[in-house]
Structure 1
Amino acid sequence: MTNDPTGDGAGERGVSRRDYLLGAGAVGLAAVAGCVGLGGGTDDVTTALLSGTVVVLSADTDEPTLVDPAETTTPVGDAIDSLGAAGGTICLPPGRVRDEGPIRLRSNTSVVGFGPDVSELDITTPETDGLVFADPDGIDRVLLDQFALNGPGLDADSGAAIHHREGDTQELIVGHLLLWGWNNSVYRVDQGVGPFQCRHRQLTVYECDAGSEDGLFDFGSYYGPANWFGTLAIYPRSGYSGTDSTVFFSRGGSQRIEYLTMGGTAGTAVEQTGDANLQIDHVHWEPHEAETVPTAIVDLSGGRPARIGTVKHVTGTAEFAYRLSGDEVVGADPAQKFLGPYDPAGDSPTLTRGVVELAAAGDSARPCFYLGTAGDVTVSHGSDTTGGLRALGDAGTGL
């Protein structure tokens, strides 16, 4: 992100804060309507936002609290700390706010800006998380919307952008966030932590590098109920680690994604293991300048259900579109997977070995299904057992 307006002066693209505010449009204005329409004089709040001040509307007080980023190294953290017990709304101004981080969220709190290209929150300290959920009693009812959350940069170690570290989070609502410059997972759930009833409408990821982490989105806990994602648009870069990023990794809980689309140096799009239950309506795989050839675009293991609607393959090379294997950790053969159509669109999609690899025999009592023909399937497990995968294009031929 390049915009860096300061005060009423011009940023790198010569745009003032007032121009930012006027250009935010209906979406940005709706997101911060509470900031400019509640608490104190509306003109005063607007003036404060235009000057780059973080505005705090606490449910416990009638007047807004103003936090000047020029007077503290942790303006957003200070703003959250200033809220009363009932919580409130943190309004990010147009332009860039820098915070050393990590920013610890709390229940009944909203953090809103004027749009991801208008309001930017920079976490400046290397090896530090961005937004953190870490309350042993749990955190309820948090809204994050309409801002960019930037890491310390393309050449710096970082923590996770959004990190569920302790306690269970429920009723997290993410509207539209942009994540940039993180050399780590951008969304991580630690072991033993279980966010649930969380909804994420649009998360866009640019120039982030998960490197040796399990994934840019890393549900690392075996525990965790259901959560929903609308669109995940992911464009990683491997320049920091030299390793392509796995995009979505899940070890537990039930996760639904409506649209998972990726470019950049994306490696495996989806990896399921452990106790994860997945439903992904559409996978769009379009990497550019990847370092390696992944075994599969979608790699599913173990006996928990997974349903993949379609895999659209536009560019890049993988060995297989789908791979079904046993989970060695929990000792479960592949079962209860549904593999939708493979769609080789575009000019240069390449599979070097086949569409589907069946790497373990599977459980014929809980079969997997592939919406294609048996000729698309490479059986590599070496067992005589058949029926663990059924090809519906051949009227249910068992493999």
Structure 2
Amino acid sequence: MTDNHQYETPAEGTLDWDEPLNRNFERIDTDVEIRDTDASRSNYAAKAGAKFLATDTGNVYLGDGGSWSQLGTIGSGGSSGDGSGDGVFSLLLAGNVVAIGKNNTSPRAVDPAGTDTPIQDALDIVAAAGGGEVRLPTGVVEETGPIRPYEETQILGLGVEISKVAITDRDADGILFDRDSGVSRVRLDGFALNGPAGTGPTGVAIHHTNRDTQDLFVGRLLFWGWNNSVYRVDEGVGPFQCRHEQITIYECDAGDQDGLFEFRSWYGPANWFGTIAAYPSATVTGNNTTVFFSRGGTQTVDYLTMGGSAGIAIDQTWDSVVEFGNVHWEPTTNPTNPPAIVRLRGHGTAVIDSVKHVTGVADYVYELGYDDYNGRGPGRKLLGPYIELGAAADIAENVVNLSYPVDPAEPSLYQGSPDDVSVTHNQGSTGGLRALGTAGTGF
């Protein structure tokens, strides 16, 4: 291997030497800077991490796998380290984490090679300067963890396949909200947050453990290598008015937890997720992973799509209020068949617009059941239509399992045929669940 880029160097007499050389050429095609006129940029493939320098304009672009994104412009201020955009981009291109503080006169560089906590060091700098941004360079930045944001701070990368944060302490959370004053107006966007992976347990990727987080904004994040939940709200903590646009999860195993996403608290209003794409694994626990667990608070998810070892997609208990748009269930590696794709227990309101089923087997699509946590049966559930796609999708029993009577004072509705409903309890009909096919039948 070469020292700087780890290109393969086949030893004398190596057979099939063309294979390592071809791999080298593929990497060189990304590593070597492309130089041409700005107008010629479209002639080159925007491979993730590739760099393009426009020789006529000085514009610098980075590839994200599909298009070229402008990173900055090389000019007279390019290496000055002043507050100009050129100074920031020069520091980023040199591999630094860059702190841009409100009251600082110039950006501050933190060299990841000189500290175990480069991102936290940069956050400390911007917090002391009245808030601001922490910019992440290309490549992997190692951080012991946890990263603890302050109010009015941002951590911004160049894209989830370009800027990556690797937490090295197995016991540490990734991003931890635990400050005694609470934290407001934090932004996280454009990077991958990688856990330590391996075969042992890890911390949690994003963890709310103390006081209330307000106005958290998450743009596009990717989680990889966490053997635990990736997003957890502890009991007694209530984040509110938090928005999460797109979260993607690969190779995370929460098979021994309540879910990849865990809302354990009983309060926390107005939390929204745009798209959650979850592809967990079962390599550590050997169990299915429940994707979204909620005990309290209010959560809205527009799109929940999943594969891998995703078992139960939604597990609602107690008095949580949840609303899900399209639920797309496509597991490929489940060790066992889950009892239901969507499990709704207790009296909290739940709205499920639709469930689309592509692969995998579950006993039921919906289960309406008794909540041991607060000792109440199901109520106030709206169950959207079930759509089965393809021969690889199968429901072993029926669409709806009514495993406990629904309180008629808090009725629930299913948008489907009465034949889709199985009553598996023996406590008699209350009429609290109505299947709307053929104008409605009560159970």
TM-score (norm 2): 0.84
Determine if the alignment matches structure 1 residue 59 to structure 2 residue 102: yes
1:373 to 398, 414, 417: 417
Q: CA deviation at 1:347?
A: 2.5
Determine if the alignment matches structure 1 residue 159 to structure 2 residue 173: no
Determine if the alignment matches structure 1 residue 391 to structure 2 residue 435: yes
Change (3 A) 1:56 1:8: farther
1:50 to 78, 93, 105: 93
Which residue is equivalent to 1:234?
278
Q: Which moved more, 1:256-265 or 1:216-225?
A: 216-225
1:320 to 341, 350, 364: 364
Question: Retained in 2: the 8 A contact 1:96–1:119?
Answer: yes
Q: Which moved more, 1:18-27 or 1:275-284?
A: 18-27
Determine if the alignment matches structure 1 residue 98 to structure 2 residue 138: no
Which residue is equivalent to 1:148?
192
Read off the aligned partner of 2:62 and give its amino acid letter: L
Q: CA deviation at 1:138?
A: 1.1
1:363 to 407, 411, 433: 407
Question: Retained in 1: the 8 A contact 2:62–2:69?
Answer: no
Question: Retained in 1: the 8 A contact 2:182–2:211?
Answer: yes
Determine if the alignment matches structure 1 residue 132 to structure 2 residue 158: no
Paired residues, what number?
390
Rounded Cα–Cα distance in structure 2 between residues aligned with 1:309 and 1:302: 19
Change (3 A) 1:176 1:26: farther
Change (3 A) 1:156 1:301: same
Change (3 A) 1:28 1:275: farther
Determine if the alignment matches structure 1 residue 23 to structure 2 residue 63: yes
Unaligned ranges ≥5, structure 2: 8-23, 34-49, 52-60, 73-77
Of structures 1 and 2, the one scoring higher in RCO (CA 8 A, sep 6+) is: 1
Rounded Cα–Cα distance in structure 2 between residues aligned with 1:63 and 1:363: 63
Change (3 A) 1:261 1:39: farther
What percent of counterpart residues are identical? 49
Rounded Cα–Cα distance in structure 1 between residues aligned with 2:303 and 2:429: 35
Q: CA deviation at 1:60?
A: 1.5
Structure 1 segment 227-376 matched on structure 2, within 5 A: 227-376=271-420
In structure 2, the residue corresponding to 1:104 is in which secondary structure?
coil
Read off the aligned partner of 2:97 and give its amino acid letter: V
Rounded Cα–Cα distance in structure 2 between residues aligned with 1:380 and 1:255: 29
Structure 1 segment 198-217 matched on structure 2, within 5 A: 198-217=242-261
Question: Retained in 2: the 8 A contact 1:17–1:50?
Answer: no
Rounded Cα–Cα distance in structure 2 between residues aligned with 1:145 and 1:78: 18
Rounded Cα–Cα distance in structure 2 between residues aligned with 1:339 and 1:58: 48
Read off the aligned partner of 1:45 and give its amino acid letter: V
Which residue is equivalent to 1:70?
113
Q: CA deviation at 1:44?
A: 2.9
Rounded Cα–Cα distance in structure 1 between residues aligned with 2:6 and 2:137: 14
Rounded Cα–Cα distance in structure 2 between residues aligned with 1:376 and 1:29: 55
Q: CA deviation at 1:155?
A: 2.6
In structure 1, the residue corresponding to 2:283 is in which secondary structure?
coil
- CA offset digits 1:22-77 (Å, max 9, x no partner): 214566859xxxx99x9524333222111210010001212111000000011001
Any runs of at least 4 consecutive aligned residues in structure 1 with deviations exceeding 6 A, and if so which? 6-12
Read off the aligned partner of 1:173 and give its amino acid letter: F
Question: Retained in 1: the 8 A contact 2:267–2:298?
Answer: no
Q: CA deviation at 1:167?
A: 0.9
In structure 1, the residue corresponding to 2:216 is in which secondary structure?
strand
Rounded Cα–Cα distance in structure 1 between residues aligned with 2:366 and 2:303: 17
Change (3 A) 1:28 1:185: farther
Read off the aligned partner of 2:257 and give its amino acid letter: E
Q: CA deviation at 1:362?
A: 0.9
In structure 1, the residue corresponding to 2:428 is in which secondary structure?
coil
Question: Retained in 1: the 8 A contact 2:158–2:190?
Answer: yes
Structure 1 segment 77-96 matched on structure 2, within 5 A: 77-83=120-126, 84=128, 86-96=130-140
Q: Which moved more, 1:76-85 or 1:100-109?
A: 76-85
Rounded Cα–Cα distance in structure 2 between residues aligned with 1:41 and 1:336: 55
Read off the aligned partner of 1:57 and give its amino acid letter: I
Change (3 A) 1:17 1:82: farther
Question: Retained in 2: the 8 A contact 1:154–1:208?
Answer: no
In structure 2, the residue corresponding to 1:225 is in which secondary structure?
coil
